[in-house]
Each structure stands twice: as C-alpha cells, then as structure tokens.
Structure 1
C-alpha cells in the first residue's frame, strides 16, 4: 500500500482544520456556561470521568463531516466509539481533551484531531477555540496558526520544565515511584496542563511531558505536532505510544534519553 503524498496530506490537513472549525462552533457556547456534567464512571469506567453535551456535540459534528466528505475513512473517537475499523485511513478524535479543565472554566483543554494511516498518526491538530489558538503538525512542519514551531534545546534534567495532567494518573507502586523520581530531578514542574502542555513543548516553553493511562485519542494528534517541531514522543521504553498508555515527550532528544533512564530506574 503506497504512502500518502505530501500533497494528499496537505489536502487532508486542510480538511482537519475544517473539522476543528466545526467542533469549535459547537463548543464555544458551552464554555463557562454551567452546563450539566455526566460521570462516565457510572458506565464502568472507574475513576471520575466527566462528559458534557459539548463533548458529545462536537464529536457528532466532526463525524458528520467525515462521513459526508470521506465516507471510506474510519473514525475512532472518545465519545462514540469506532466506525469502519477496517479502513486504511482513520480519524482519531477527542472532542474535548481535558473535560475536567473545561467544566472548571480553565482553558488548558483542546480538541484533538489526528489522521492515522494504519501504522501511525501522520497529521495532527490541537485546537483551543476559546483562546483561538490552533496547533498543527503535518508535512510542512509544526505550527501555531501560521507561526512555525520549534522545540528548545535542553539536555539536562536539572534545567528542565516538566508538565503532566495530574499525578493521580500514575498507578500506585512502581509507576508512581518512577514519576516521582523524575519530578525530583527537574527544575520546574506544572500539573493540570492537559493537552496544552504538548503545544507549549512544541513552542519551546516546556521541556518534558510525562503521562500515563492515556487512550489513543489522547495522544495521536499530539505526536505529529511535537515531532514536526523537533521533539520526541514515545512510551517509557522508547517505543510507539500511539495506542496510549505511558507517554514521554521531550523537546530535546538528549533530555528524552535522560528522562527515560530515570523512569526505568537506571
């Protein structure tokens, strides 16, 4: 099966921007509106996992456009599952990554839209429709709007700024202990940053993002953004994190290597 050409990817990136436009139109009226929140853990999902009409409506809008213009493509989304799983190309979407931030009025959430070619995400968009900021990664590089993004050099953990969504995402025992070891080695740490931290890593303001308990829709859109900006995104063993689980993202390859050693206890 032949790879997508750069021109084909540019056309699909343009469509991804259209999807982000549509989701933003749905989401904006709900932000800081006191909307009703449902807890998905009531459906057997474990920890508190809120969902709102904004999440569901935005994903429905994205799916409607994909079905209208690319009916042969698959769709994997957080709120409405997997459609056309045998498709060569699959859109992987999280309409609001960071719903806890959304319902508490914090703008660290974003809409995540990735296109997976069957092996990896080949383009990604992270849209923050309240701040009117859109991060993208594709064949021509990584961008915030029209500004080209580049990660910053930072080879030493002692100089690094680290972000994660919340320490509670790490399982008690060896996983949490590994995270705590790494946190003690960096100069600055910020929690509660959701997907926005990856945008700031690509922009050169953050050096490390460390996460766990991730789903495919939580990370796939962010991989092309970070990689096209010059960063590295893997699991804690240096392999692909496209299916979720544990994630280590770094703006500097040398820093990524050092952080991975600490996480592995070496």
Structure 2
C-alpha cells in the first residue's frame, strides 16, 4: 500500500516579513525548528480551501517525483499577533490562530524565467500534466510559480488549484472536463511527451496513494458552517474527484495537446 509521508508540525516563533507579491498576503516566518518558512494563512481571502489545495497538489507533485519545498503544518499561537504594529497583518494573524501551512523557504532561489531558463520536454510535460490534472490556473508566463534553486526547478504556490471546491456540489461533472486554461501554461510549448507522461503517472497515482495524500488534510480545515458534510465525507469528495479525474485523464491530456498545436 502506498502511503504519503506524515507532515511535520512546527510552531511559528517569529513573523519576519510579509510577502506582498502574493494576493493572500503570505509571509516569511521562523519556526521553533529554526528554519524559515513561507507561511500561508488560513485567515486569508480564500480561507482553508487554499491551504487544502496547496497541500493536496503539492504532495501529489512530490509523489510524482517533482520537486516541491517541504510542506509543514504551522501552528500559530493566539498571542502571536499582539505585538504586530500593522493592523492589516494583525487582523490576518488573529484570524489565523491554529494550524496554517508552511513551505520550506528556499534561500537564494530565483524566479523561473522562460526566456533564460530551459527545461526538458519530459519535465515540461510532467508539470503540464500535473497542472491540468489538479486544475491549477496559476502557472503562466506572467506568474510562473516556479523557482530555480541550486540549478534545479522547484514548484511552489498551488493554492489556486482544485478550484472545483469553490463551485458547489457538481464535483462529478467537473472531474471529466478538459482544463481549457492549460492554453496559458508557461511550459506548454515544450510539453511534447504528454502521452508518455500520462501512462507513467496513471501508474504512480494509485487509489491508495491518492487516499493517503488526501488523508493528510486536517479536520479543522474541513470544519465550517457552510458545509453539511463531515471532514471525513469531505476528504472522500476530494479523493473521489481525483480518482475520477485520473480515470478520464485522456480528456485533459488531449485538450493540452490541442492547445499546444494551436500555439506551435
């Protein structure tokens, strides 16, 4: 049985600086393990759904062999924001008490630039496949959400993926749809091996592996007044959506291939 790694939990000890280029106001923060993390807050605009997407898409990418900074649960104490002078940040910290999400900070990393940096057709195809699978709208030339670190490419910022969880109860209908936004993917022109990648990734993402990744989502991110389903039932919705989407992967793969033909 494939099992996902258990995520570590750290306690945030120091708010270093806001990263204002992110729409949800993430921050660089230090934790009690003395490492720096890019912190994504549950109290930001998209709430815990963005954290769920970040966690599931990030760990799916890792399971497929792609490089993603370590993801951790980041606990924010109730007293943490009291000394913060910026009222906007203080409100965000107050609304984010409890478990948040952190990504290990890649010190010295630079933003991927498609003009300067090159990737192999295989890696481009792998990333395009992943983003079509999880419906990630946020990997464009304007905002690549990729970093070059020690001459290797790393994927970051998956909070905009799995937007199906913002659309209501039509998950089964959405699972079989092509991902038309793939036409704007920064790596689509290089993605010439989508069929081979599809065959390989369908083997890697077994039902057990999908289930184990979704099981990482904590109950407190799934407990809200807007949902009538229990946390366990909501996790099953995510797992079933991903299994169904994988079973019909030729739909989003063919859509990506058609979009690439239109480009090149």
Higher strand share goes to which structure?
1
| Structure number with higher relative contact order (C-alpha < 8 Å, ≥ 6 residues apart) | 2
TM-score by length of 2: 0.26
